Amino acid sequence: MSDGPTYGFDTLQIHAGARPDPATGARQTPIYQSTAYVFRDADHAAALFNLQEVGYIYSRLTNPTVAVLQERLATLEGGVGAVCCSSGHAAQIMALFPLMSPGKNVVASTRLYGGTVTQFSQTIKRFGWSAKFVDFDDLDALRDAIDDDTRAVFCESVANPGGYVTDIRAVADVSDAAGIPLIVDNTSATPYLCQPIAHGATLVVHSTTKYLTGNGTVTGGCIVDSGQFDWSASDKFPSLSAPEPAYHGLKFHETFGNLAFTFHGIAIGLRDLGMTMNPQAAHYTLMGVETLSLRMQRHVENAQKVAAWLEADPRVDYVTYAGLPSSPYAERAKRCYPKGTGGLFTVALKGGYDACVKLVDSLEIFSHVANLGDTRSLVIHSASTTHRQLTAEQQQAAGAGPNVVRISIGIEDADDLIRDLDQALTKAGG
Ligand SMILES: *Cc1c(COP(=O)(O)O)cnc(C)c1O
C-alpha cells in the first residue's frame, strides 16, 4: 500500500513500510537473515558505495527487514526518515554523533531515565562532549544554559520513571530561537500518545526495547528525523553542512536535503560506530508495533485505575502519575497528551526504603526487573538498581528517591494488579 497521510494510526502501525515480499509473495515481512547482498555488476556496486543509488550492500548499514521497521517508525512519528540501531542508548549516541565534536555540549532535562543521566554526565566526556542538566519547567534557565558550544537540547516526552510530562512545544520554541535541534526521547509515550515532531522536535529517539516491541524480547533503538532542521543555517553542524572528510568530502545536507541526517546516520553512524539492529530484532519489534495502539490504550486505562487506587491507600505516601487529577502536571497532561500519559509511574511508601524492598519481594504478578513497557506488569526499586549510580540529589531530581518504587503497568486485568499490590503492601507492613 502507499503510505499517505490519509491513513489512520491503526492502519499505518500494521502497513507502513511493508508490502508483500516481491520475491515470494510472503504476506508477513520476511526476516532477511543475510549479511551481504549481491551486486548486479561492478557499476551497480560503485553507484551504491557512492550513495548515487539506494540499495543493500552489507547489513551493518542496511537490511530489508530493518528497513521496513525504519519506514514504519518514521511514518508513525511523522518524520521523513529513521535509522534503527542496537539499543535505546545506541540511538542517543547516534543522534548526538553528527551534531557534536570535542568541546561541544548538550543541554538536557534533569528528568531522564537513570541510564541516560549516567551516559550524559559521565561516559560522553570520553568523546570530549559534555552535558548541562536543567529543569525544563524553567524556560529562562533553559535559555541561559544554551551557549555558543551547545549543539543539542534533549528531553523525554513522558519522562521515566514517571509522573513528569514535558511541554515539548514550549521547549522547542526556546531551542528554535537559539537555532539548536531539539531531541526528544519518546520511549515512554510512544508515537500513539505523543508525536514530538508535531510539537516542534527536530529528532525523536526511542528505546524500541520498551513499548514499541512491547513483549520484552529484544533490545533496539531508533532515531527519527523530522527533516525540518536547516543544518546549513549556521556553521555549527559542519558534519552535515560542510564537506565531510569521512565520506570523501560529501556535503550531506546539499546532497540529500531533508534526508541528510538519515543518510549520515547510515553512511557514517552505522558504518563507523557499528551499533546495528539485527533483522531478528526488527522482526520482533515489527510484530509489537502492529498492536501498539491497542496496548497503549490498555496500559493507560490500567495505569489510571491502579494509580488512583494506590493514591487512596493509607499505606501509600504519594503517587506520581501525570494522569491523576492531583498531579501538578494534570493540566499540561490533558493539553499535550490528550490520549493519556502512559503506563509508568512511581509510588512512595510511608514505610520508606525497607517497605519498598519488601513490596518488591512480595508481589506475585508483577516481576522485579530492570525493564518497562512490557505486556506484563513490572516493578523496580530505582534507588537500589537503575538509579544506583546517581547521587542522592540526582535520584531526587529524577523522582527516584529511596522511598519510591517505579511501576510499569501491563495489560493484565486491572483488578488482579490491584489485589496483588494490596497483599504485597500488607506484607510490606506499611
Ligand atoms: C530504556 C530506556 C532507554 C535506554 O534504552 P535501551 O534500549 O535499554 O538501551 C532510554 N530512554 C528511556 C526513556 C528508556 O526507558
Q: What CATH number is attached to the domain comprising 330?
A: 3.90.1150.10
3-state secondary structure of 144: helix
CB of 374 within 6 A of ligand 1: the answer is: no
Asked whether residue 312 falls in the same domain as residue 227, the answer is no
CB of 118 within 6 A of ligand 1: the answer is: no
Asked whether residue 310 falls in the same domain as residue 245, the answer is no
Print the domain residue range for 379: 292-429
Asked whether residue 266 falls in the same domain as residue 400, the answer is no
Q: What is the pLDDT of residue 5?
A: 56
DSSP line for 240-264 = HHS-BGGGTTB-HHHHHGGGHHHHH
> Which residue, by CA, sits nearest to atom 2 of ligand 1?
207
Asked whether residue 255 falls in the same domain as residue 364, the answer is no
Atom of ligand 1 minimally distant from the CA of 371: 1
**Residue 4 domain-assigned (yes or no):** no
Structural domain ending residue among the three candidates 251, 268, 288: 288
Q: What is the pLDDT of residue 429?
A: 85
Atom of ligand 1 minimally distant from the CA of 156: 13
Distance 259 CA to ligand 1 centre (A): 25
Distance (Å, whole) CA 237 – CA 101: 9
pTM metric for this prediction = 0.96
Structural domain ending residue among the three candidates 288, 304, 331: 288
CB of 116 within 6 A of ligand 1: the answer is: yes
For residue 61, with 0-12 CB atoms within 10 Å meaning exposed, 13-18 middle and 19 or more buried, which class applies?
A: middle
Alpha-carbon 50 to chain mean position: 31
The tens digit of pLDDT for each residue in 313-365 reads: 999 999 999 999 999 999 999 999 999 999 999 999 999 999 999 999 999 99
Atom of ligand 1 minimally distant from the CA of 112: 13
**Cell numbers for 60:** 551493518
Asked whether residue 221 falls in the same domain as residue 282, the answer is yes
Closest CA to 133 of 163, 156, 112: 112
Asked whether residue 232 falls in the same domain as residue 252, the answer is yes
Closest CA to 408 of 224, 207, 118, 221: 207
CB of 209 within 6 A of ligand 1: the answer is: yes
**Residue 3 domain-assigned (yes or no):** no
Give the domain CATH number at 210. 3.40.640.10
Asked whether residue 255 falls in the same domain as residue 301, the answer is no
* Length of the chain, in residues: 430
CB of 262 within 6 A of ligand 1: the answer is: no
Asked whether residue 156 falls in the same domain as residue 300, the answer is no
Asked whether residue 236 falls in the same domain as residue 343, the answer is no
Strand 150-156, strand 81-85: pairing: unpaired
Asked whether residue 296 falls in the same domain as residue 268, the answer is no
Asked whether residue 47 falls in the same domain as residue 171, the answer is yes
Residues in the chain predicted with pLDDT less than 50, given as ranges, are 1, 3-4
Q: Cell numbers 550531506 label which residue?
A: 252
Q: How many domains does the chain have?
A: 2
DSSP-assigned beta bridge partners for residue 82? 224
Enumerate the H helices of 29-155 as residue ranges.
42-49, 64-77, 88-96, 114-121, 139-145
